[in-house]
């Protein structure tokens, strides 16, 4: 295995992977599907206002949930992947707690990437930061591009431009089901690149709908740098259950 660590900057590639995950985490918050609040005949302004209302109703409805998450971290400087499976429980006002079930792969990636990822995830799920990262017109300038298909479902394709120069916000495209405004897909790049991150990762995330709420089912982030090599983070989400 080729070493990728150098003096005081020896954790740079690992920081890249962790930052990729941080950006993904900020998109994990489910989005309420607002039935009947916008139709294919609505104006772009109507659609955007309906998305905002959906987020507000979502915050009122979501008391908590549990799920299983599987992480796979790859880096071109490592011959093995690092993997972890954990259960997560989210409760309103308290955030997330994780219980690790299995882990495998390089100890460095486990300790310095995945463990830090879980810690950051728990912090980011607290109420203090949630409102600043929701996919609403308060945090983004939004422009309806048109109606496009996502896996056979007609969706509003909405261009999203962060109002703040913040790596926690994504510049790209979000797709919402035209019949219920459920978020089905999002892709793009972070609005800013932190000092410890070489370049901006490409982020893709797919969602499923459970009781009118959109939850992620798969996330992928990829980045490539001259010194850091190619990095890829995949997260699979299963076994969702809503909590009262």
Q: How far apart are CA 86 and CA 227, in angstroms?
A: 31
Give the model confidence (pLDDT) of 79-93 as tens digits: 999 999 999 999 998
CATH of the domain at 193: 2.50.20
Give a yes or no: residue 112 inside a domain: yes
185 bridge partner residues: 175, 206
Are the CB atoms for 61 and 213 separated by under 8 Å?
yes
pLDDT class of 8 with cuts at 50, 70, 90: very low
* Higher per-residue confidence, 130 vs 210: 210
Q: Per-residue pLDDT averaged across 93-103, rounded?
A: 94
C-alpha span between 230 and 87 (Å, rounded): 28
The domain containing residue 196 runs over which residues?
A: 11-243
Is 106 part of a structural domain of the chain? yes
In a domain, 3, yes or no: no
What is the distance between the terminal CA atoms of the chain, rounded to a whole angstrom?
48
CA 171/CA 152 separation, integer angstroms = 24
Q: How many domains does the chain have?
A: 1
């Amino acid at each position: 295995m080729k070493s990728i660590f150098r003096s005081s900057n020896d954790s740079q590639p690992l920081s890249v992977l962790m930052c990729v995950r941080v950006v993904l985490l900020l998109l994990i918050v489910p989005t309420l599907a607002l039935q009947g609040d916008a139709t294919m005949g609505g104006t772009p302004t109507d659609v955007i206002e309906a998305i905002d209302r959906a987020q507000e109703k979502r915050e009122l409805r979501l008391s908590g949930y549990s799920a299983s998450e599987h992480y796979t971290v790859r880096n071109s400087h490592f011959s093995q992947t690092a993997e972890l499976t954990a259960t997560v429980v989210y409760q309103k006002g308290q955030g997330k707690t994780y219980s690790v079930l299995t882990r495998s792969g390089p100890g460095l990636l486990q300790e310095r990437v995945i463990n830090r990822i879980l810690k950051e995830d728990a912090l980011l799920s607290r109420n203090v930061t949630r409102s600043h990262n929701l996919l609403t017109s308060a945090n983004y300038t939004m422009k309806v591009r048109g109606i496009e298909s996502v896996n056979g479902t007609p969706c509003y394709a909405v261009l999203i431009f962060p109002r703040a120069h913040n790596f926690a916000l994504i510049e790209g495209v979000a797709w919402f089901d035209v019949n219920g405004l459920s978020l089905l897909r999002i892709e793009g790049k972070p609005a800013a690149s932190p000092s410890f991150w070489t370049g901006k990762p490409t982020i893709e995330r797919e969602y499923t709908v459970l009781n009118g709420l959109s939850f992620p089912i798969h996330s992928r982030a990829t980045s490539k740098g001259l010194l850091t090599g190619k990095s890829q983070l995949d997260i699979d989400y299963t076994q969702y259950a809503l909590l009262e």
